[in-house]
A and B are shown apart, each in its own frame.
Chain A
């Protein structure tokens, strides 16, 4: 080590009206894993886009020195030729093509006239082995899980002869096991001399793999922590990111009285909508009380989302059986509208995919689930609608110029707040929050937790599905553990620990 592979000097990048990067400096040594952390919108991705040539030379100021020479990348191809390969947060694989086809997309093997498929697949298999995948490169992408897809992305980068690997939130959609495997792979590459830059929100992962951590806040470098010099703790990193020490990542709930059972399901079974013989949720029983936050922990694919959506007016699954009891009375919900009428809300894990209408303003999104409240004879009272949107903007401290702003232009944390506002306006008694803080930064997470606390303080019940164990532990009064469609454990929040939850899953 010791050799500087990459140095970005005084990088400044402006967008109309915003200075996204302001004199950012980044030094990466040969053979290290360098983590880039910061809140959403801090400028991490922008910095990497500058590096990889997505923002061409000239659209920013400052110098990029790579391997001792000043680089002026005009397009992605330029940086890839030098061995700088970026793997984006959203996977860029084509589902109906094979692994091999995807890996050499834009980098086709063979002569100019025709692709040599034998060579393609042989090469692909070679790189797949390097990332520890045993699948044939002729397998279609859609047939492998998200975790493996992420590994294919890495293999694809290796096939481009990457010397500097940039991973933008590589584990955001992976479960704990897959994440661990991916991080270990990075550590293995490090031993072989590969240099990596990893952008991540998950601080435990960062402290696990990174040799150095550069903290970016509001478009400027705050500090670079070195594992060999500084003592790196999560609190230390958070302090750098938000500019203040966050003594408590989870706000305290005080004087919230836990009341009667608000919702209960008994022996709830759901089958897969396409493969009708596959049980996705298997005989689940659970309940939530008034004023209580119940966490549901589990690995990805455990059936938690499916459970929640099937309760929510059969929004998912077929052949649903079991009892649903609201306030002591058994009810049968025919459809989603019915569920909303019975004061259940399901706040999706995928706010962009199926939570919000990104091309519509905040106003319209806020009222969508309960528009009839603002209507008389189907005519919308648009003045009142504006007022409602404003009210929730104030209540949830959503940062936006006006409520006429399109939701697509907001940051992840603010989008999440709009999504919450939408369901709060539907005035539910039971809120099922599916991964309520996925992909949003520490500061916004804290605010979401505060909102959850306000909700239960008002006597509502909250079911929180989360794959982040610290969050489940920090927020829940009671925790259910789900695995492969079954409830495999229930424990009081105060008694639970990461170990006890994981052992529940593993022993089931």
Chain B
């Protein structure tokens, strides 16, 4: 029994740390941390991290490869988008398409250079890091931003979902029913999926998780979902940013855990030559990793631009570092081959919570950086020590 408990702790250390950190900040800020508005802030301020870190995860899986250029690319593609939509007065769909197209082009170039010409990723993307920021700012001709972006554009990525049901007003507080209903639906889906997977396994005679484990899992996941749903219902509804993040995260979670292509990302990180000799086009996978990264970077640029309703010359600064930190804290191996989308979410959330908590406590921004650096290093040290202990001989 003791072993079991220990195992659960070991497998979910970061999750437990996250809960403790949230509670810690809640105490330190006298409950401000868990106010509905902070849930909203956590998601909207960090949406770009989740999206970028998803792309970074795919790159890192292939062998600890990173993309240093994504922050600069957020700026560059934002400037282009703003020029198209503001200066040239093109419609929002055109703007979005142009930006996506540029993402695909840049991804292809980057992927080609890395996968087929064998330029080490950090060098290729370092070039992008320098050039794209410069190019983006140069295109602004001395302005520090281009604004305002069209309302329709901003509405797609910021703002909150309107209440379809007309929620009740109780004790002077407006409840958003859509949020609650969406939470309930998601909760039910989680329960159905988990139980269906278990019964399918049992039916075919395979090993499956114990009933208790499945129930505990359901309860915990549903608790988190409903907590968010409840808080958002008080904060005026589900932020659109969350929907974008949720969709992307779900898609990539599926790709990494259930599909053959996703599997190859892991095996290349584990042993590229063995994967190649198994008849898998490893170069294509590397190419896909960076193409995918560029496209997700564009989506992240949408989220960033719309939050400020502008393209800024400083947009995207240090985003690449945020994404890498989220992955690393979330247990993605810096050498490739292991890491999950779920882990990355925990890592990104942990960093987001620390940021938010420290800001609420009024801690100086420079000290915040110090704390984040320590957390990053601590997470990696912990990860490596933990792995060492588990390794046989």
Contacts and interface: CB of A to CB of B under 8 A. Distances in A.
A379 B338 CA distance: 19
A409 B275 contact: no
A261 interface: no
B261 interface: yes
A334 to B, nearest CB: 11
Contacts of A313: 279
Contact of A359 (B206, B261, B280, B338): B338
A371 interface: yes
B260 A383 contact: no
Contacts of A140: none
B337 A355 contact: no
Contact of A336 (B204, B258, B267, B277): B277
Interface string B359-393: 00000000000000000000000000000000111
Contacts of B261: 378
B281 A360 contact: no
25 contacts: A15-B392, A335-B279, A335-B281, A336-B279, A337-B280, A339-B279, A355-B274, A356-B274, A357-B266, A357-B270, A358-B270, A359-B270, A360-B337, A364-B263, A364-B266, A368-B263, A369-B278, A371-B263, A372-B260, A375-B259, A378-B259, A378-B261, A380-B263, A382-B258, A383-B201
B274 A357 contact: yes
Given A360-B337, A378-B259, A379-B259, A387 B271 contact: no
Contacts of A315: 276-277
B200 interface: yes
Interface string A317-340: 000000000000000000111011
4 interchain residue pairs of minimum CB distance: A357-B270, A354-B273, A369-B278, A337-B279
Interface in B29-74: none
A346 interface: yes
Given A15-B392, A340-B279, A371-B260, 7 more contacts: A339-B279, A353-B273, A357-B271, A359-B270, A375-B260, A383-B201, A409-B391
Contacts of B275: 357, 368
A379 B258 contact: yes
Nearest to A347: B277
**Size class of the B contact interface (CB-based, 8 Å):** 20 to 34
A368 B201 contact: no
Contact of B260 (A340, A357, A359, A378): A378
B277 A337 contact: no
A386 interface: yes
A348 interface: yes
Nearest to A315: B277
Taking each of B206, B260, B273, B274, which has the highest tally of chain A beta carbons within 10 Å of its own beta carbon? B274
Interface in A297-327: 312-313, 315
A357 B62 CA distance: 12
A356 B260 contact: no
Given A357-B270, A359-B337, A360-B266, A380 B259 contact: yes
A379 B261 CA distance: 9
A156 interface: no
Interface of B: 200-201, 204, 206-207, 258-261, 263, 266-267, 270-271, 273-281, 337-338, 391-393
A313 B279 CA distance: 9
B277 A355 contact: yes
A290 interface: no
A417 interface: no
A393 interface: no
Contacts of A201: none
Taking each of B270, B271, B279, which has the highest tally of chain A beta carbons within 10 Å of its own beta carbon? B279
A383 B337 CA distance: 22
Interface of A: 15, 20, 312-313, 315, 335-337, 339-340, 346, 348, 353-360, 364, 368-369, 371-372, 375, 378-380, 382-383, 386-387, 409, 422
A354 B271 contact: yes
Contact of A358 (B204, B207, B271, B280): B271
Taking each of A339, A348, A354, which has the highest tally of chain B beta carbons within 10 Å of its own beta carbon? A354
A488 to B, nearest CB: 28
Contacts of B279: 313, 335-337, 339-340, 369
Taking each of B266, B277, B280, B393, which has the highest tally of chain A beta carbons within 10 Å of its own beta carbon? B277
Contacts of A346: 277
B147 to A, nearest CB: 42
B206 A337 contact: no
B117 to A, nearest CB: 16
Contacts of B259: 375, 378-380
B260 A387 contact: no
Nearest to B389: A16
B204 A368 contact: no
B335 to A, nearest CB: 9
B276 A357 contact: no
A348 B279 CA distance: 13
B23 to A, nearest CB: 34
A77 B271 CA distance: 34
A340 B338 CA distance: 27
A336 B201 CA distance: 34
A383 B281 contact: no
Contacts of A360: 266-267, 270, 337
A358 B278 CA distance: 14
A410 to B, nearest CB: 9
B274 A354 contact: yes
A7 to B, nearest CB: 26
Contacts of B337: 357, 359-360
A360 B391 CA distance: 13
A401 B261 CA distance: 28
Contacts of B267: 357, 360, 364, 368
A272 to B, nearest CB: 18
Taking each of B267, B271, B275, B338, which has the highest tally of chain A beta carbons within 10 Å of its own beta carbon? B271
A40 to B, nearest CB: 13
B393 A15 contact: yes
Contacts of A368: 263, 267, 274-275, 278, 280
A398 to B, nearest CB: 16
Contacts of B200: 383
B325 to A, nearest CB: 23
Contacts of B338: 359
Taking each of A313, A340, A383, A386, which has the highest tally of chain B beta carbons within 10 Å of its own beta carbon? A383
A360 B339 CA distance: 12
A380 B277 contact: no
B105 to A, nearest CB: 25
